[in-house]
Amino acid sequence: MSDPKSLVDKLKDRIQETLQAGLILPRHANMLVQAIDEGSLDFRVPQSVTARISSRTDQEYGFDVFRCSECGRMYMFQKAVEMRLRCQSCPGKPFLSQAPVFVASFGSRPPVPIPLSEVMKKVTLDWNSNYCIYTGAPMSGNRRLPRDFLKGLVEADRSRPIDSLCWACPIPEEPCQWRDEGRFCTYTRHAGQSWRPDLWSTSRRVRLVAPFSRRRTAFGTFVDRYRPITVSEGSTKPIRVAVHSLSEGESERLEFKRDELRGISEIRFVRGLEIFQFTIALAVGLPYVSIRNRAVRLLSADGTDGQENPFVLARRLGTEGIVIKLRPEALESILHQWSLNRPDVPVPTLTTTLFHTVSHAFLKPLPIMAGLDASEFHESFSPSENEIAIYDNSPGGIGGVRTVVEDGSGGPQLRGDYAAQLLNSLACQLGCQWSCKACLHTGNCGWINRQLKRDMLEGVIDERLRDRYFSS
């Protein structure tokens, strides 16, 4: 197979495709392409990972508050380290974990970069975190609350571990009229207000909530509301693109039933598939909202001139995979039909959506077929070259994609049970409109499952023939 395009040209194509898909902003794409053309874009291969617990330069951002899941008491990082990250007040001294954080939910994506401190906030964003009648007043024995005093956080309902978090008294030995029978604190800064988001159910227990207001920053007013979540990787999703390359000498054509996969012209199993993966940006925000409700940040570092210079994280691997080509006439027919139905959507965007959707149809069943985790497989697609690559995400391959290939009478062929799963790609147990976790979404999608249209598969897969495999 000829491969006239250079790696740089392919990367620029992938960046433009992420722009068309609404994953990054126009200014992001322009900055990256300009840096590539100027030869100033830094490609970094991660060697180690360093976690920043707290920052002296940014007091609002950090993960330096720890909590005991048994009693709910909270401690600042230094105190938690002195306690060897174990709660000294509970039997068995259970380990401390990081306290919940507040993450922004944006009504619309900010059009300009914003600092991470505007997206993620400490639990102390809730004013009730240290609002106590003993603040500034002596306790028994003339003792005083420490400067970094925090209340505890306890679940009022174990079946709702985040939504039911309420502030609890960490000093039960002190007399207090605001403490109920469950050690929950009912002393709140929202008292007397008609709107009381801090109350749990019909009780007077004070919930963990952020102040109700649209936050105004130097960058504009973007935040609809901050919501509490547990600290997880889902708050910062990487936006990745991949470029693949192969040679005919290291691949062999697979036989498949063409009436079933009527929109596919060719499938090859490639032993020497070369993959280049690039992480170009981060989508920051609530893990369970659309990417359009998250802030997008390019990866950047301070340069010697004091300016932020963008960089990308790069990874190169040789692996095994299958490469799929679409029939040109099927591709033209699908795009023509969707252009009539969606005249407001540019054809390049529809093309990218189609290739992304087909790649997920092939990618989604692989973990079940191979008995491996979904993270062991990735995708790469190139509409300009009419190629989709599904591959093992490990150097040399781990035999995952190989499991869908079997020996046939005429040579290697696509396994029948895998073909059966492909024919089932048009079905969704939840009957969603476009795509969801029940049909096409995967947890390792570099595009965060953006631009997937299940109905586009009608011109690629003949689902009527699934009765060959799924009979009543």
Can you give the pLDDT of all 472 residues of the chain as single tens digits? 445 678 899 999 999 999 988 888 888 999 999 999 999 899 999 877 766 665 554 455 567 899 998 999 999 888 888 999 999 989 999 999 989 999 887 777 776 677 777 788 888 889 899 999 998 788 888 888 888 889 999 999 989 999 999 999 988 889 999 999 889 999 988 766 766 778 887 788 999 988 765 555 555 556 667 889 988 878 888 999 999 998 767 889 999 999 999 999 999 999 999 999 999 999 888 888 877 788 888 888 877 776 778 899 999 999 999 999 999 999 999 999 999 999 999 999 999 999 999 999 999 999 999 999 999 999 999 999 999 999 999 999 999 999 999 998 888 999 999 999 999 899 898 888 889 989 999 988 999 898 899 999 999 999 888 877 765 4
CA angle 179, 183, 184 (to 5 degrees): 70
Provide the pLDDT for residue 215. Answer: 56
Contact 67, 85 (CB under 8 A): no
Instruction: Give long-range contacts, CB 8 A cutoff, 24+ apart: 380-384.
Output: 380/242, 380/243, 380/244, 380/275, 381/355, 381/356, 382/10, 382/13, 382/243, 382/244, 382/355, 383/17, 383/348, 383/351, 383/352, 383/354, 383/355, 384/5, 384/13
Provide the pLDDT for residue 469. Answer: 75
Contact 127, 46 (CB under 8 A): no
228 contact partners, CB below 8 Å, separation of at least 6: 100, 101, 102, 123, 162, 165, 208, 209, 210
- Look at residues 96, 47, 33 and name the one whose alpha carbon lies nearest to residue 70: 96
CA dist., res. 86 & res. 71, Å (int): 12
N-term to C-term CA, the chain: 43
CA dist., res. 407 & res. 415, Å (int): 9
CA dist., res. 12 & res. 34, Å (int): 10
Provide the pLDDT for residue 300. Answer: 84
* φ and ψ at residue 223, rounded to 5 degrees: -80, 130
Provide the pLDDT for residue 284. Answer: 87
CA dist., res. 31 & res. 113, Å (int): 13
Beta strands in 17-92 (DSSP E): 42-44, 65-68, 74-76
Tell me the sheet residues that pair with 96.
Answer: 68
343, 388, 432 from 426: Cα distances, Å: 23, 19, 11
Look up residue 15 and give its amino acid.
I
- Can you give 315-356 as a three-state secondary structure string? EEEEEEEEEEEECHHHHHHHHHHHHHHCCCCCHHHHHHHHHH
CA dist., res. 2 & res. 228, Å (int): 52
CA dist., res. 253 & res. 270, Å (int): 9
